[in-house]
Amino acid sequence: MAISNDFLQFILDQLYLWEGVSAKHMFGGAALYKNELAFGMIADNQLYFKVDQLNIEKYIKADSIQLKPFKNHKTVLSFYSVPVDVIEDASTLVEWAKESYQIQLDRNNNKIRMK
């Protein structure tokens, strides 16, 4: 699940239009955060965003694959790869990232309401 620092920096540079995005290294990869909520993952120099029923169809139509962080473990159903053409277009990448962040924000707010 290793990533190169160059790829991580490229992703952060592409997200420059959206202030407050940060990355934390974990398990050989990195997680992307906004306001302490992880909305993206980077593994093996591939970017993955959080999905749910509201945005999964566009990932499936783009032939995205599910995150599989370790060879001997199952896939992570809620994270799908971001297509290269999206990664290369900073404004589109930010749109997709915001959708994934909103999923995490809604999920977090639902957890708070359930308490």
Cα distance between residue 8 and residue 32, in whole Å: 10
Reduced DSSP (H G I as helix, E B as strand, rest coil) percent helix, strand, coil of the chain, to 5: 40, 30, 30
Question: Confidence band (pLDDT; 50, 70, 90) for 114?
Answer: very low
Walk me through the domains of the chain, giving residue ranges and CATH numbers.
5-114 (3.30.1460.30)
- Asked if pLDDT for residue 52 goes beyond 90, the answer is yes
Separation of first and last alpha carbons in the chain: 35
Note every long-range contact of 58-64, with CB atoms under 8 Å and residues 24 or more positions apart, other chains counting.
62/86
Contact 80, 56 (CB under 8 A): yes
The answer, as to whether pTM is greater than 0.75, is yes
- What is the structure's pLDDT at 47? 96
For residue range 7-21, list pLDDT tens digits in order.
Answer: 999 999 999 989 999
- What is the structure's pLDDT at 26? 85
